[in-house]
Every structure is written in C-alpha cells, then in structure tokens.
Structure 1
C-alpha cells in the first residue's frame, strides 16, 4: 500500500483480562503519534458504546494523551480537539476513566494497530480477534 497510513487498534478486556472485543481501522494519512493515539481512543470509545459497554477504564501508553484526557494539561492542537471529542463521548458512559499503562501491558492493542494497517474497512470482533491479537492478549494477561 503506497503512501502514509496508520493503524488504529482497540482491545476491550474484562476485569481478569479476557478479550471482550477487538477492532481495527486503517487511516490513510500522515500524522503525529499523539494524534494517532487520541484517534485510537475515540475510535475505541465509539465502538465500545455501540457494543453496549457503559463502564470503561481506558488505558494508553501515551502519557501526553492521558494528561490531556485527565485535564492535567491543555494545548492548542489537533490532539486537543480530538481529546475534547473523547471527553464529550466519555460523558455519555456511566463510568469512564483514563490511565497510563506501560506498553508491556498493552501488546494486544499494538498488535491490533499493526494488523489494521492492511484493513480496507473497520473490522470488529466480539470475544475474538486476529490470531496475533488473541495471542498478545493472552500474553498481556500475565502483566495485569
């Protein structure tokens, strides 16, 4: 595939780390990593809401985005605009909070983003995902 592209990946797990949902999207555009992470969070919240989830803990290994989501920092950027959209959507959930997570605990999400680079449309799995994502989710459970 020519040109710039980024993969957005989400993984929703229950309290013991079992896979409830995974989804991916390929965005054909060049953008800074912080904006990609914000778009991934927004993508995840939209699909989580559509799937009926109403209580979420959202984890990201991008501390800059988590700081924006927690209101610790504010900036004039495309990332902030996306964060504002995230916060508006998050307010429709019964519970939604945002935390930093070490990348080693979030391999499944990064695996999903990598796989999503080949997608031509949004793909969603309930209690499943591409093989590499399922295997990464099992590995992530060890770090929960």
Structure 2
C-alpha cells in the first residue's frame, strides 16, 4: 500500500504517525528529552498537536522552535529514505535540528539563553464600569468520556452575578474543551440577560484565535467562528487572557461537573466550594 510508513511498515503514514507514533519518531523524541506534556490522539493532525503544545502556559518559544525543528528533521529524513537514502540515527536527527536552530539564531543575533515566556496576567481583575467579566474553563474526564465546562460572571466589585457547571458527553481534546467553554459561557451570559461582557479564559491560543491573531486548528475552527458570530448579539464584548492560577473559580466549576448528571446554575449566589477562591480574588483587588 502506498500510504504505509516507509520506516516501520506497520501503519499508515499520516502526519501523526510520522511525527509522533512511529517507533523511529519516538526514539528521536526520547533522545531529545523534549517529550510532549500530553499524549496526542491518534486522529489529530500535526497542526492540532502543535496547537496543544502552545496551549501549555509554561511553554517557551524556544521549546516550540525545538519541537518544530525536530519534526522537520524527521520529515526530511523520511523523504530521504523514500528516495533510497540512508535512515539517520535518532541522535543524528536531533543534533541536526539543534545545529539548524543555532545557526538560525546566530543569523538573527538571538541569544536563546535569555528567552523567557512573555509575562501574562496571573491575578483576576474586576471589570470597569457597567461591564461584567465572564470567566470560563473546560475540563476533560477521559474515564467518563465527557467534558466539564465552568462559567462565572462577576461585577466590578467581584460579586457573583451567576455561575454555571455543565457536562458535555463527548471525548474531545484540550483545544476543543477550551473553545467549547468559551461558546457555552457566551450562551450562558446571553440566557441570563447580560449584554456587556469581558470574556476571559486561560487558553492563550483560544484568546488569540478569537482576536483573529492566529488561525485555529480545524478541530475548533467552527466553534471559534460561532463565538465570534455570537458576539454580534451583545452590546459590548472584549476578549481577555489570564493564566490558569487566576482562573480558579471557573476551573473549580468545570471540575464540579464530574459529580453531576447535566448542569447546575447559581444566580446571585455561589456554591460553597468557590468561597475560598472568590475571597482570594477579591482580596487581590488593589485598593484605590
């Protein structure tokens, strides 16, 4: 068969297999010590995997560059083998990728030792004026083949206007969960009559996609477009990103879903398990 991997001869040669699941690819990743912080789904594309990597808050541009360049080295050697070339060792491929990056950075005059993650907001901040802040988060429950979504709406004083925990029965990835959380949060705000909001989540890539700053992977493209379209039904919508530690109430609401059948809502009140997280957020608000 033409689509069988030229390396292991055991599976179809799609991008997922070529870059991650083929035994030759796995050997190189083990040698590089750049193992992904998650296990790629068998059906996800290279773009989906890279998007998942970018969603990791502690990921640096240098790490993403190394993973991408190693994948490029794998792909190049795969084509060489197909044209009767020699299969290179895992260490040789990794060294080739590192050398290429070093030469690239040398041309740019970039010192990779000083590369640090871009500072991001880590403390929740209240909205200003008559706008409400909607924080959302998604959680995956692989054992239940389900996802949980949490949404909480607060005013300029940090008081809870409404909160939601909702279960969604589907086996989806992290990117889909975060995008669906934004979609369901926006619908929740609409249902309770809130029309001026700041939609905030801890997925930097969902934020960038909603802002139109980057192209989302195909798996969430329709959801992102749906959220952007739904914004036209509000008077005011702004997108905001916050680090995971600043989004704890929404995260707890998403985790709470594991113990319920469908959904729970709270209007002008909040569940007791949110009390400490909410007090922490309010105490962190600067006093003018």
TM-score with structure 2 length normalisation?
Answer: 0.47
Equivalent-residue separation in structure 2 for 1:98 and 1:13 (angstroms): 15
Equivalent in 175, 180, 183 of residue 42 of structure 1: 183
Equivalent-residue separation in structure 2 for 1:28 and 1:108 (angstroms): 22
Aligned pair count?
A: 144
| Pairing of 1:85-96 with structure 2 (within 5 A) | 85-96=226-237
Query: Displaced runs of 4+ in structure 1, greater than 4 A?
Result: none
For 1:104, the equivalent position in structure 2 comes to 245
Q: What's the RMSD between the two structures over aligned residues?
A: 1.6
| Structure with greater proportional helix content | 2
Equivalent-residue separation in structure 1 for 2:187 and 2:169 (angstroms): 19
* 1:9-34 per-position Cα deviation (integer Å, ceiling 9, x unaligned): 00111112111110011122221112
| Pairing of 1:72-91 with structure 2 (within 5 A) | 72-91=213-232
**8 Å CA contact 1:23, 1:129 repeated in 2:** no
Unaligned runs of 5+ in 1: none
TM-score with structure 1 length normalisation?
Answer: 0.92
Equivalent-residue separation in structure 2 for 1:79 and 1:41 (angstroms): 11
Question: 3-state SS of the aligned residue for 2:233?
Answer: coil
> Which deviates more from structure 2 when the two are superposed, residues 102-111 or residues 128-137?
128-137
Q: 1:134 to 1:98 in 2, by over 3 A?
A: same
**8 Å CA contact 1:104, 1:140 repeated in 2:** no
- Per the TM alignment, residue 76 of structure 1 is displaced from its structure 2 partner at its CA by 4.3
Does 1:3 find its partner at 2:118? Answer: no
* 1:14-65 per-position Cα deviation (integer Å, ceiling 9, x unaligned): 1121111100111222211121011111111111111110000011110010
For 2:133, the equivalent position in structure 1 comes to none
Equivalent-residue separation in structure 1 for 2:228 and 2:283 (angstroms): 30
Equivalent-residue separation in structure 1 for 2:216 and 2:202 (angstroms): 19
Higher RCO structure, 1 or 2 (CA under 8 Å, sep 6+)? 1
| Pairing of 1:1-144 with structure 2 (within 5 A) | 3-144=144-285
Unaligned runs of 5+ in 2: 1-140
Question: 3-state SS of the aligned residue for 1:117?
Answer: helix
Question: 3-state SS of the aligned residue for 1:106?
Answer: helix
